[in-house]
Amino acid sequence: MSDPPVRVLRRSFLAGLGLAAGGFALGAFEGDAFADDRKIPQVDIKPSDPATAAKTAAKGAGLRPNVFVHIGADDVVTIVCARSEMGQGVRSSLPVLVADEMGADLVRVKVAQGDGDKAYGDQNTDGSHSVRGMFEDLRRVGAAARIMLVAAAAKRWKVAVASCTAHDGAVFHDATQRTLRFGELADEAGAQPTPKKEDIKLRPLSELKHLGTELPLLDGPDIVAGRAVFGADVKLQGMLTAVVARPPVVGGKVLRHDPAKALAVNGVKRVIVLPEAKRPFAFKPVGGVAVVADNTWAAMRGRAALDITWEPGDNATYDSRAYREGLLTAVKSPGKTARSLGDVDAALAGAKTRVEAVYYAPHLAHASMEPPVAIARVDGNGCEVWTSTQNPQAAKTEVAKALGLDESQVTIHVTLLGGGFGRKSKPDYVVEAALVSKEMGAPVRLQWTREDDIQHDYYHSVSAQRLVAGLDDAGKVVAWRHRIAFPTISSTFTDAKEPSENELQQGVLDTPLAVPNVRAEGCEAIAHTRIGWLRSVANVYHAFAIQSFVDELAHARGVDPLAMQREILGPARIWKPADLGVPKLPNYGQSLDEHPVDTARHHRVLDRVTELSKWSDRNTAGRSLGLAVHRSFLSYVAVVISVVKGKGEKIAVDEAWIVADAGTIVNLERVRSQLEGAVLFGLSHALYGEISMKDGATEQSNFRDYRLMRIAEAPRKVHVEVVKSEGPPGGIGEPGVPPVAPALANALFALTGQRVRDLPIVRSLSV
C-alpha cells in the first residue's frame, strides 16, 4: 500500500496571495514572545504595475508591493523567506527584519518558504551572507509596504502622509488619535503606486524594535514535536524510492553489472544506468546505477546485489599518503606571488633568526545530520522537486539542463535542511532524482545513505602550508613568507591547478601583518576528486597554519602568545589593499570601503576573550590555554581553548571561550547558537576529521571510521559573547570555525610541549 499523499498546495496558496513565487512551509510567530552568501547582487523589489495593482485591489487581494510581502484583509502579514533554513535560524531572522521595517505586529506575521525563483535575487544560502548581503534590501522590502500603507491611511483620513506613522501592525494619526490596522488598509494600499527604490526612506536602526534581541526559533516547536518537514519527510501518491551505486573513483564508470540479481529482490522495480560523469564535474551526478524499489530497504538490498565491476578512470592512482608528500614538496619551491610587500628574500637573508614550520590539513567531509535527498516528479508538464537544498536556483538550472527543459518548466520546493555546511549547495543529488523520475514516469525519492554521503562528497580541500619568518636582533618579525598548495575548488568547474584569489583572500591576502616584508605564494596542485566549499572554506586551514605559527613565534621569542598576537597585528588601524600588499581584495563579495580590515576589532575580541578565560592564569590549576583570532566573512572572532590531562594521561578539552564582533546583529539568540556550534564543529574536525584516499576511492564510510566528537568529549562549558558593534552586518554561520583548531593546537603545546602541525590531532596525541 502506498504512503498517503501530503497535499502541498503551493500553487493554489500563491494564487490566493498573488505572490510571484511560492513557499513550501508556512510558519507563524506565536505566543507572548512578541507581545510588545562573491559580489552580492541587489534584490530587485519587483514593483507591481500601478494599473495592475489597482485591478488586484478591486478584487480584494490585499497589498502585494513585491514578491516578498503580502498583507491580507484578514490582517495576516505573510513574508517570504527566500533563503534555506538549516538550523541557523534564517527563517526566524530575515522576515523579522522585513516586519520591523514595515511596522508589523509579529504575532500576525506568517513566514512562507520561497521556492527557487530568480525573482528573489540571490537565494544561495552559503558564504554567511544571508543577513550581511540582504540587510538593506530586505529593509527596503518592508519599507515599501509601510509607505503604501501610510499613503492609503493618509488618503482615507485626508491628512498629510508625514503626520502618520506605522507600528504594531497599524497606521496611527496621533493628532486625531485615529488608528487603522494593516488588514483594514490592505486593499487600498494595494492600489497605491509602488515606491521607487530611490524614494524609499529607511527607519533609524533604533526603531527596529527586535534588532539584536533574542528571537525565538520559528521552527523549534515543530522540530521538537516531529512535525517539521525535512526532505525525506515528503510523501507523494505512487512515490517510489531509489538509491544509486556510484563509481568509487570520481570519473569512473560501469564496466558490467547484473540487473537480474537486483530485480530478484522483492520490491525492486527497475535498474537504471545513469549517464557517465565527465570533466568538469561541476554539479552533475557522478554516474552509476540506480535501483528503484517500493521502499528504501528493498532499494538498498537490490543495490547490494548488483555485482558491479567498475572501470576506475584517470583518478585511480589517487593516494592520500603520496599526495601529501607531493604537496609538502610543492611548498618547498616558489609559487605564484599573490601578496607582496617589501623585499622578503633580502629580509630573510639578513635576519638574525629564522623560524619555519610546515602545516598539513586533510580532506574533510560535510557529514551533515541529514544525508542528501530529493523527491522528483517528472511528467508532461515538466519537473517538480521537493528537496533540502541550500541553492534552489542552481538545482532548478541543473535539473532543466539534465532533462532538456526550459527552467520555467522546473519547480524547486525547499524543505527544511538537517544541516548543510555547503554540501547542499551542490545539487547533484537533485539531478539524480529528476533523471530517475523521468525514466520511471512516477514520483521518486532519491535517497543517499550515510555511506553515500561520506564516500561521494565534494570534499574540503587537503592543504600544505610552509611559513617562514625572519627576526631581527631585537626579536622583531621583519619578514614573513607563506607558501600554500591545495587543489582548488575551481578544479571542480575548470582545469584550474592553482589557488584562486577568492580562496587566498580567506585568511592569506586579508590577514593584517605589522611586518615590513611579506610575501604569499600559491603553488600548483592537481585535483583528483570533487573539491567543494565546507563551512568557512579555505579560512579553516589558513587560520590553522597562521595562528599556530604566531604561537610558535611567541615560543621562539619567549613571550606571551597574547603579546605576540598584538605585535603581529600592530596598533589599531584600517588596512586597505595596498597596506596588505595586494593589488585588490575581493573581501567576501562586499565593498572593502564598507567593510575594511580593522585591527581595532581584532584587538577588541582578543582583549575580551582573554579577560573571560583568565588568560593570565593560563598554565595553572592543571589546565593550559591556547589562543587564536581570525577575521572571516567580515566578522572578527577570538577563541581560547582549555585542555587538561585526565585518566591515563589522556588529554581532554575542558572549556572554551569564543568572542565575536559581527557588526550589527539581527537575532542574538541564533548568533550565540551558531558560535557555540562552530566551536564544536571546529573541535570535531581538528581532533578527528580526515578523509583519505587509496586507489582513488574514499577509505572512510560512516561514523565508525569518520569520527565526530561525541558528547562526553565536548567541553563542559562553551562560553559565548557577542561584543556590541556599530559596524555593518558581518557573517556569523562560518566565522566561528577557523580559530578553533589553532587555539586547540596551541593549548595542547602549552600542556604537553608537543607541537601539532598535522591534522587530525588524534594522529599525534592521545585525546
Q: Is the pLDDT of residue 132 over 80?
A: yes
Grid cell of 166 as nine digits: 506605522
Q: What is the pLDDT of residues 630-642, one digit of tens each?
A: 999 999 999 999 9
The residue type found at 747 is A
The pLDDT-based confidence of 60 (bands split at 50, 70, 90) is low
- Look at the alpha carbons of 483, 488, 489, 494 in this order and tell me if their dihedral is positive or negative: positive
CA distances from 140 to 119, 147, 200 (A): 15, 10, 7
Same fold, 10-225 and 320-365+458-763: yes
pLDDT value at residue 3 = 42
pTM, rounded to two decimals: 0.93
Reported as a single tens digit per residue, the pLDDT across 678-717 is: 999 999 999 999 999 999 999 999 999 999 999 999 999 9
**Phi, then psi, of 207 in degrees rounded to 5:** -90, -5
Average pLDDT value for residue range 466-470: 98
Residue 720 pLDDT exceeds 60: yes
* Three-state secondary structure of 709-758: CCHHHCCCEEEEEECCCCCCCCCCCCCCCCCHHHHHHHHHHHHHCCCCCE
Q: In terms of Cα–Cα distance, which of 444, 449, 379, 377 is closest to 413?
A: 377
Query: Radius of gyration over alpha carbons of the chain, in Å?
Result: 27
Under CATH, which number does the domain 231-313+372-447 receive?
Answer: 3.30.365.10
3-state secondary structure at position 339: strand
- Check residue 355 and give its pLDDT: 98
pLDDT at 32 over 50: no
Pick the CATH number of 320-365+458-763 from 3.40.50.1370, 3.30.365.10, 3.30.460.10, 3.90.1170.10: 3.30.365.10
Say yes or no to pLDDT of 72 above 90: yes
pLDDT band at 591 (very low <50, low <70, confident <90, very high): confident
For strands 518-523 and 477-485, give the pairing. parallel
Q: What pLDDT, on a 0 to 100 scale, did the predictor assign at position 25? A: 61
The C-alpha atoms of residue 327 and residue 433 are separated, in whole angstroms, by: 37
Q: Name the band, by pLDDT with cuts 50, 70 and 90, for residue 44.
A: very low
Indicate the class that CATH gives domain 10-225: alpha beta
Q: At residue 186, does pLDDT exceed 50? A: yes
438-458 pLDDT, tens digit each: 999 999 999 999 999 999 999
Mean pLDDT score of the chain = 92
Mean pLDDT of 95-116: 97
Q: What pLDDT sits at residue 621?
A: 82
Q: What tens digit of pLDDT does each residue of 349-379 get?
A: 999 999 999 999 999 999 999 999 999 999 9
Cα dihedral 753, 754, 756, 759 sign: negative
| Cα separations in angstroms, 368 against 165, 223, 418, 450, 581 | 46, 16, 7, 9, 38
Q: Where are the beta strands (DSSP E) in 366-509?
A: 373-379, 382-387, 410-414, 444-447, 463-471, 477-485
Query: Taking the domains of the chain in order of start, what are their residue ranges?
Result: 10-225, 231-313+372-447, 320-365+458-763
Predicted pLDDT of residue 592: 80
